[in-house]
Structure 1
Amino acid sequence: MLNYEAVKNYEFPEVTQSYTERDTILYALGIGFGDDPVHPGHLRHVVEGELRTVPSMATVLAKPDRWATDPRTGIDFVKLVHGEQEIVMHRPIPAAGTLRARSQIGAICDKGAGKGAVVEVSRELRDTDGVLYANVRQTVFLRGDGGYSQHGGTSDEPPAPLPAAPTAPPDLEVDLATLEQSALIYRLSGDLNPLHSNPETARKAGFPRPILHGLCTYGMAARAAMQVLCEYDGARIRRLAARFSSPVFPGETIRFRLWRHTDGTFQLDASVPERNTTVLSHGVIELA
C-alpha cells in the first residue's frame, strides 16, 4: 500500500547527464524525423553541423531512476502507468552538453479504493552553471494504490486538470506514420523497458506484441506541432502537455488534430484511425 509520507518526502539523487550530437540525432530519428530525408526541417534535426534539438527531448534527459520500485514507497509498481506529461521550455536545449536535475514529488491524490491514486513528479533541467532550460512534469497513475488514505495517509488536492479537446472539427490535422522498428529505435534514448521490445513481456502485460513508448507518441506530438505550426522551429514550442489514453503499436499511423484558440494557444489530441482509438488526449500547446 502506498506510504504517503515515504513518497511525499522521497529524496531523489541529483542526476547529471552528458549527451552528444549522436544522442540528439538518435532521439529525433526515434520520433520519426528523417522520414523525409531531403526536407530541410528534418535534416537540421538529424545531421551534424547546424543541429537542433526537438523540445520534447527534455523528457529523456537527467530523468530519475525507477524510484517507484523502492519498497519504502509501498507502491504497486506493476500497476503503475504514465498518466500525463508536460514540458515548459525556457530556452532551446543544446545539441550536445551536460544537464542536471533533481526530481521532486508534488501532489499525491487518492482517487478511492479500486480507483487508483495519482502522483505528480517534476524536475528542472539546468546546465552545470545553473541556467534553466526546461521544467518537466509527469503524473503517474497507480492503479493498485487507491484507498491508501483510508489507512491514515493524506490525499492532496489534485493538479489542475488539462482541458478536453473541443467537439468541433479541428483546425489542423496531420498524419504521421511510425515504423515497425520505431520502439527499437526510441528505446536507445534511455527507456529499455522490455514491454517495448520483448514479445513475451508484452503478452504477459496483455498486449499481442510490444507497444510503442508513450513518450515516443508524445515526442511525435511535438514533431506534429513543429510541422504544422512553426515550420519545424522547435524553439517556438513553449509548452506541450498531454494525457496518455491508449498505447500505439509500432507500424501504426497516428493522426494528430489541433484546435486554434483566439489567445494563440492550441489544443491537441491524437488517435490511430485504423483502430478508432484515441492515444493522446487533453493536449495543450503554447508557442513563444
Structure 2
Amino acid sequence: MAINYEKLMAWPFEDVRHRYTQRDTMLYALGVGLGTDPTNETELRFVYEKNLLALPTLPVVLGYPGMWLKDPATGVDWVRLVHGEQGLRLHRPVPPEGRTRVSQIIDKGPDKGALIYTERTVTDATSGELLATLTSTTFCRADGGFGGPAGPVKTVHELPTRAPDHSDDFATQPRAALIYRLSGDYNPLHAEPAVASAAGFKQPILHGLATYGIAGWALTQRVCGGDPSALQSLDVRFSSPVYPGETIRTELWVDGKVVSFRARAVERDIVVLNNGRAELR
C-alpha cells in the first residue's frame, strides 16, 4: 500500500492533554542519561525533586501523538522509518498540552524514500498561551514513488569550518533506550531485537530524541552556564543511529547568540547528529 498524499495531509490528529509531574520530569532526565553518577550535584538538579529543574528539551515528549504512522491506513512501512530532523522553539517554560499537524510531504522518488514534515504546538491548558513549537521530519525509507511533490525541502544549516569552541563527551548506558521509552515513545525498534533486525540494524537503536536531549544537555552546560532557560531553540538533523552504550561527543561552535553543533559516536567515529543550530536568549 502506497502513501496517500491527500489522506496524510489531512490526518485527523486528536489534541493531546498532557499533565506532567515532577516524576515525569525526572524520568525524562534519567532517560537522557543524567544521574549515572548519583553524587554529581549538577545532574542531581534534574533527577531529584529538591529544587528540581527541567531539561530544556523536555517538551519533545509532551503532547506526543504516538506511533500514528503505524496505522495501516497511512500506507507507510513503519518498520523502516527513522527520525530525520527535529526542531524545538521554546516560547515559555515547559507545558502541559499539545497539537499536531502534517505540514508537508516530500516524495524523493522510487528507492529514495519520502519525507513527512510535522509540526506540534504545545499550549498551556489554562491560559491558552503558546509555550513551545516542535517541528519534526520523518524519513520513510521504503515509501518513495507515490506521486507526491518533490519539494521544497528544508535548507541545511552549515557548520563553521574552524575547530569547535567546546566539546563534551557523554557515555550512554546499554539500557538507555529501555529507560527513555518510558517517556512515551514505545516504538519496538528501540527494544525488540527482531524488529531492529527487520529494519536493518544489528540491535535496537537509541531514540534519536534521546541523543537530541544529550546535545541539549551539552549546550546547557557548556554555553548556557547550567541554566536551561537560556536555551531558546534547538534544530538538528539525525545523520546516523546510536547504539545504546556508545559515547556521544557533542562539538559546539559559538557565534554570539547562535550556537552550531554536531555529535558523533566516539567508538565508531561516525557523526550521528549534524547541521545543528541553537539560539540563546
**Is residue 2:112 matched to residue 1:118?**
no
- The aligned residue for residue 170 of structure 2 is 176
Quote the offset at 1:67 in angstroms.
1.9
- The aligned residue for residue 146 of structure 1 is 144
SS of the residue aligned with 2:235?
Answer: strand
Distance 1:80 1:205, change over 3 A: closer
Unaligned segments of structure 1, at least 5 residues: none
Distance 1:250 1:71 in 2: 29
State the TM-score, normalizing by the size of structure 1. 0.91
Aligned residues: 279
- The aligned residue for residue 107 of structure 1 is 104
- The aligned residue for residue 133 of structure 1 is 131
Distance 1:248 1:22, change over 3 A: same
Quote the offset at 1:274 in angstroms.
1.6
Distance 1:11 1:210 in 2: 30
Distance 1:202 1:111 in 2: 24
Q: Deviations over 1:198-243 (max 9, x none)?
A: 2333333332322211110011010011110112211111000111
SS of the residue aligned with 2:167?
Answer: strand
**Is residue 2:39 matched to residue 1:41?**
no
Distance 2:234 2:168 in 1: 17
Contact kept, 8 Å, 1:107 with 1:157, in 2: the verdict is: no
Distance 1:222 1:53 in 2: 12
Q: Deviations over 1:168-217 (max 9, x none)?
A: 21111111111122112111111222222223333333323222111100
Q: Deviations over 1:79-108 (max 9, x none)?
A: 2211000100011216xxxx2222011121
- The aligned residue for residue 89 of structure 2 is 88
State the TM-score, normalizing by the size of structure 2. 0.93
The correspondence for 1:280, drawn from 269, 273, 277, is 273
**Match of 1:145, as an amino acid?**
D
- The aligned residue for residue 14 of structure 1 is 15
Distance 1:164 1:18 in 2: 37
Unaligned segments of structure 2, at least 5 residues: none
Aligned CA-pair RMSD = 1.7
Q: Deviations over 1:42-89 (max 9, x none)?
A: 122111132111111111111112222333332232322110001000
Contact kept, 8 Å, 1:164 with 1:281, in 2: the verdict is: no
Contact kept, 8 Å, 1:107 with 1:156, in 2: the verdict is: no
Matches within 5 A, 1:1-288: 1-93=2-94, 99-129=96-126, 130-149=128-147, 153-158=148-153, 160-261=154-255, 263-288=256-281
Distance 2:150 2:185 in 1: 30
Contact kept, 8 Å, 2:79 with 2:189, in 1: the verdict is: no
Quote the offset at 1:22 in angstroms.
0.7
Distance 1:142 1:202, change over 3 A: closer
Distance 2:194 2:116 in 1: 29
**Match of 2:266, as an amino acid?**
P
Quote the offset at 1:41 in angstroms.
2.7
Distance 1:13 1:250 in 2: 32
Contact kept, 8 Å, 1:226 with 1:234, in 2: the verdict is: yes
SS of the residue aligned with 2:117?
Answer: strand
**Match of 2:98, as an amino acid?**
A
Distance 2:97 2:224 in 1: 28
Distance 1:173 1:21 in 2: 30
SS of the residue aligned with 1:18?
Answer: coil
